[in-house]
Amino acid sequence: MSVINPTAHYTISINRVLDYIRDHLIEDLSLDVLAGVAGFSPFHFHRIAQAMTGETLAETVARLRLERAAALLRADRHLAIAEAALASGFISQAHFSRAFKKHFGLSPRQWDRVTPLQNRKNGQILEGFPLYTFEDDGKHFEVRLREQPLSTLAYIRVINAYSDPSRIMGAFDRLLAWYQQQGGDLRQTTLYGMSQDDPEITPLEKCRFDFCLSVPVTWRGNGEISLRELPACHLAYIHCVGDIYLEDRAWQYLYRYWLPRSRFMPVDLPAMEIYHKRPDEIGWATYDIDCAIPVIAV
């Protein structure tokens, strides 16, 4: 009889709840509902979640709703504040505005939707990555569109993903080792990197990054490996071959220049790196990836 690691069990439950929150921001996200998703009693799960994430469930829900609204406002500078608030689960624009100002230190109307938001309580700074202007720079990036099919993904999640590169690299190694132990052929899978949060908005220590591999629908996760479905969607993407600074420039172009001028809006799915070559094939200093955003035409 196999023995389930209790810590891994809790990690899988927390990941399942965080994914559920992201996918159901405009629905009832009460403690009873989320405890049911996790498979724990509300009394115990409230304490487990706070111990493992460093914030209460109510704080997590409020923060993710704020970050979703901020992402919508940044993607479409003409979007009404009230629309972004309602689309992110707030009951009113007034409620959203109060929460926004408390969290970010300025009101939604004061934000120019271009300057990166920084949580004043955390004082986060993405050092070494300058902000670019793109008025005459479009020729350097070609944004393409394609269909992403429905896929089953096995993933390993890294919290505080940007603090130490070894955390990302170690997670990648463990995911590939697990995949091969299941009998998987690395030539028959696709590697994804998914940023569940925007480091220009989310406190860095709470940023989540998932390494994912496409797997057969019949597979099951175990240990720290969880499974989820990636819905079929449209992708806007830039093929990027270069170092991390070129990748960052491509993301900035997509979010800060192309998206606000396009006829598309981002859908509530993570942005993703889709790897043409894995880091174990070409190293961690150079990338051959598609920087992709799930979008919908408006």
Which DSSP string do the residues of 231-258 spell out, in sequence order?
Answer: --EEEEEEEEEE-HHHHHHHHHIIIIII
Map residue 99 onto helix, strand or coil.
Answer: helix
Spans in the chain with pLDDT lower than 50: 1-6, 120-132, 136
Q: List the structure tokens of 259.
A: 């998206």
Map residue 221 onto helix, strand or coil.
Answer: coil
For 180-188, the CB contacts below 8 A with 24+ separation are 182/215, 182/219, 184/213, 184/215, 186/278
Collect all residues with Cβ–Cβ distance below 8 Å to 16 and sequence separation of at least 6: 37, 38, 226
- Extents of the domains making up the chain: 6-104, 144-297
Per-residue confidence (pLDDT) for residue 2, from 0 to 100: 38
Domain covering 6-104 in this structure, CATH number: 1.10.10.60
Kindly report the pTM of this predicted structure.
Answer: 0.68
Per-residue confidence (pLDDT) for residue 8, from 0 to 100: 66
CA distance 171 to 24: 27
Q: Answer whether CATH 3.30.160.270 is correct for domain 144-297.
A: no
Strand spans (E) along the chain? 144-148, 151-159, 191-195, 208-214, 226-230, 233-242, 264-266, 271-277, 287-297
Q: What is the tens place of the pLDDT at every residue in 126-174?
A: 444 444 455 545 557 899 999 999 999 999 999 887 777 888 999 999 9
CA distance 159 to 154: 17
